[in-house]
Amino acid sequence: KEKGPFSVEWLAQSSRGGAQPIATGRRPRCPPGGTCDQESPADPGDPGLEAEAGGGAVPGRARTKFSAAQLKELERIFREQRYIGTSEKRRLAAVLNLSQSQIKTWFQNRRMKFKRQTQDAK
């Protein structure tokens, strides 16, 4: 018999990292190239990786550390256009040696930063 989320057994296991709630509405965080059964926390001794901010109860993907050249090119493109199309995203990913998902997320975050900056200026 499978125990539902928040049963005494589930809470005991979850405090040790052994259980996941059923049907939470969120996709599990899986390591790139692995399965969700495997945990792959970032090596804290690796200077190229920074832990993701925000509590971190669930070990997830390490924060991407963009190089100065990558940031310069991303900022240049952002000044030209706030939203990036699929073909440009694909091209940038290849040129900057990043994934399309990283490019997409960078643009989303940069638009939010721009929005905060313009609201603060008012």
**C-alpha angle 111/119/121, rounded to 5°?**
115
Q: What confidence category does residue 25 fall into, taking pLDDT thresholds of 50, 70 and 90?
A: low
Of 102, 73, 100, the residue nearest 89 (C-alpha): 100
Output the CA–CA distances (angstroms, integers) from residue 79 to 21, 50, 70, 88, in the order listed: 43, 27, 14, 14
Counting the structural domains of the chain, the total is 1
pLDDT of 1 reads: 53
Please give the full DSSP string across 81-108, using - where no structure is assigned. Answer: -SS--HHHHHHHHHHHT--HHHHHHHHH
Q: Is the pLDDT reported for residue 17 higher than 90? A: no
Asked if residue 73 lies in contact with residue 96, where contact means CB atoms within 8 angstroms, the answer is yes
Q: What is the pLDDT of residues 50-95, one digit of tens each?
A: 444 455 556 787 888 999 999 999 999 999 999 999 999 999 999 9
Q: Identify which has the larger pLDDT, 99 or 14.
A: 99
pTM, two decimal places: 0.52
Asked if residue 103 lies in contact with residue 78, where contact means CB atoms within 8 angstroms, the answer is no
Q: Which two tokens stand for residue 74?
A: 């991303």
Q: Please give the residue range of the domain that contains residue 78.
A: 67-121
pLDDT of 65 reads: 92
